[in-house]
Structure 1
Amino acid sequence: MAEAISTTSKNSLKCVEWMWQANSNPWSDSEPAKWNHYSDVENLIIERAYSNKETRAVLDDYYIDFTQNRQISNTDDYKERPVKRVVRKREDKHLREERFVDLPVSTGRSFGGEYGWVSPFIIEVRRDLKLEPEELPSKKPEMIPMLIEKAAQGIIKEGKFIRKEEEAKELANMLLEQKTNGIKQIWQCCVYMYSLESFLYKTLNATMRLVGDKEHEHVWRSKIRTLGPFCLLLWDDPCNKKATIYKTLYRGANLNKQQIAKYEEMAKNPDEYGSFQAFTSCSRNRQKAEEFGNTLFIMEVEIAFTANLAGLSEYPSEEEELITPGVSFRVTKVKFDQKINKHLIYMTLRQRFSKNSTSLIFSVID
């Protein structure tokens, strides 16, 4: 992975963490200090400025004044909070709740339906880029610089839209540095970027989960040009060409009664399949996945395209396995475990090939 991104970036995250005091009154002496983490990308920006002996680091809503160890609002100099620099090991981090606990599929549209083994989002990205069936970055390296440029521009545009322009520029530059490298290094860089705590993976997955929801079809289609090129680079995995078989993955969730009832209904019909339309983060470690939420998904992979991110991620202890978009699932059982006070939803995962999808993009499984 050292070849795919700068050593400085990785070491910054592994050794140093910047934090800001989150108390309602950060200057109060009557309550214990509560410290919140900056996002991974903000941490990279801050630590680079600090290491370069600059007087400040500029973030999207604030800047960090190193002379005073203060976070100061970009629009109001009177809004200040203390900050601190902590040296620690990334392995000390717990499983990130938001990344592994939000609902892996939207329950508003029959669990994503079935579309064959390629997500419609990927198909529409290829159409928008006017790519032929054999034209993937792993098969046609000459298209990589164009894709990286478009991906970087799209990330910046999405960042501006949600007032995260500084984060977006940091991510875009990380990708642009790879323009002359091979597809494996570029894919590793994309995985690393995806593994970081930032707006990028959240925006991408929130968009892709809307596939199949007619009411919000215009939303995910509007993101094809901005998020599509990065999505294609992440999806076209040159390192895991063979499908995963016979592996168990876990993911937590907070489900209400109505959502659990939908899974119970699905379990009654062994022929009913749903599909993951977004990149879905799971853990190979059940104990870690059980830390959060009122529900645990237990997913038995029969045959599906997944990627082990542990060696590439900034959070190797999460034992993250990424399910790629388009993988189908069937609910086999739903029960309540009184010992751990959680609902258990058992699934089998299987890549289901359709005539339409296999003729469209067959080269990935050559």
Structure 2
Amino acid sequence: MADRGTETKGSGIWYWKSNPDPWSETQYAQWTTFFGIENEIIERAYLNKIGHASLENYIIDFTDMVQVHRKEKHKKRPVKRDILSTVNSDDCVLGPGLLSPGEPGEVCRVVWEWAKQENDSCHILKEENAAEIIDKAADGILVEGKLLKREAEGRQFADGLKTMKGKSLDELSVCCVALYATESFMYKLVTRTLQEDDLSKITTIGPFGFLLNNALWRLRSTGNFTVYRGVNMDRIKLVEYKSHIGKV
């Protein structure tokens, strides 16, 4: 195993052995990737030289390099880490994100209703109110993560967002888009909430939706840009997708 002290932050891709019998010496080894936020949680713990990483249902033990089920300790599987540069780009494809900034002045209803409830000062994101809105967005993410039993992911998102307090609005914008594009419960929840005008999520998703809406407009004002997120495809779908590149 590589020396953790020499690794570059965020360079690792983590896998768990997904064979029916993970300890068989005769079966062909099958490895499945930890996607999105789970990979980030594992990688952060690894680079910080912590003995293990905590996911919702599993503990990743770095000493023995195994995944251990939280409730059934006898259920273990090997894990491994590869460097990002060794990943074959033909095995993945980037697809456009699901949110559109819309026309100038257009705001999703959930975002608008949240801003109205908060008071007029929240209609425009400013450096003076950014920290307060970040805290509210982080608190909402923690609530939704708990409801979905994805508390570790929720904490990771909330902590990442809170690191933006005191940073520039441009840096905050980039962070919000990156968090939204991460493979996790968040992009599905945020997209569904905003598309369906789910007003039951005003308090929890409204603040992050507000930051994301501002981020898209702020970044677009600097020129045209595209938001990407990773998606899984079989080979047929991949060929079909590539045939449409450049088309509207």
Give the distance between the partners of 2:19 and 2:204, measured in 1 at CA.
Answer: 37
Give the distance between the partners of 1:179 and 1:90, measured in 2 at CA.
Answer: 34
The two structures have a TM-score, normalised by structure 2, of 0.78
Contact 1:128 1:225 in 2 (8 A): no
Residue among 2, 9, 13 paired with 1:12: 9
Contact 2:137 2:204 in 1 (8 A): yes
Residue among 92, 95, 113 paired with 1:100: 95
1:52 aligns with 2:52: no
Deviation at 1:40, TM superposition (A): 2.7
**CA displacement 1:161-211 (0-9 Å, x = unmatched):** 111111111111111111111211111111221232222112211222323
The residue type paired with residue 162 of structure 1 is: L
SS at match of 1:84: strand
1:36 aligns with 2:14: no
Deviation at 1:294, TM superposition (A): 8.1
The unaligned stretches of length 5 or more in structure 2 are none
1:136 aligns with 2:132: no
The residue type paired with residue 62 of structure 1 is: Y
Aligned position for 1:71 = 67
Residue among 101, 107, 126 paired with 1:118: 107
1:239 aligns with 2:219: yes
Deviation at 1:127, TM superposition (A): 2.1
Query: Which is higher, the Rg of structure 1 or of structure 2?
Result: 1
**CA displacement 1:113-135 (0-9 Å, x = unmatched):** x9x83322332232232335x83
Give the distance between the partners of 1:84 and 1:20, measured in 2 at CA.
Answer: 7
The unaligned stretches of length 5 or more in structure 1 are 1-7, 106-113, 212-219, 250-279, 301-345, 347-366
**CA displacement 1:20-56 (0-9 Å, x = unmatched):** 0112222233431211111232222222222233221
Aligned position for 1:228 = 206
Q: How does 1:1-366 map to 2 (within 5 A)?
A: 11-13=8-10, 15-89=11-85, 92-93=88-89, 100=95, 117-131=106-120, 135-137=123-125, 140-211=126-197, 220-237=198-215, 238-241=218-221, 244=224, 291=238
Change beyond 3 A, Cα 1:148–1:61:
same
Structure with greater proportional strand content:
1
SS at match of 2:158: helix
Q: Report runs of 4+ in structure 1 exceeding 3 Å deviation.
A: 90-97, 99-102, 280-283, 292-300
Contact 2:9 2:47 in 1 (8 A): no
The two structures have a TM-score, normalised by structure 1, of 0.55
The residue type paired with residue 65 of structure 1 is: D
Identity of aligned residues (%): 31
How well do the aligned residues superpose, as a CA RMSD in angstroms?
3.6
Give the distance between the partners of 1:69 and 1:243, measured in 2 at CA.
Answer: 45
The residue type paired with residue 221 of structure 2 is: K
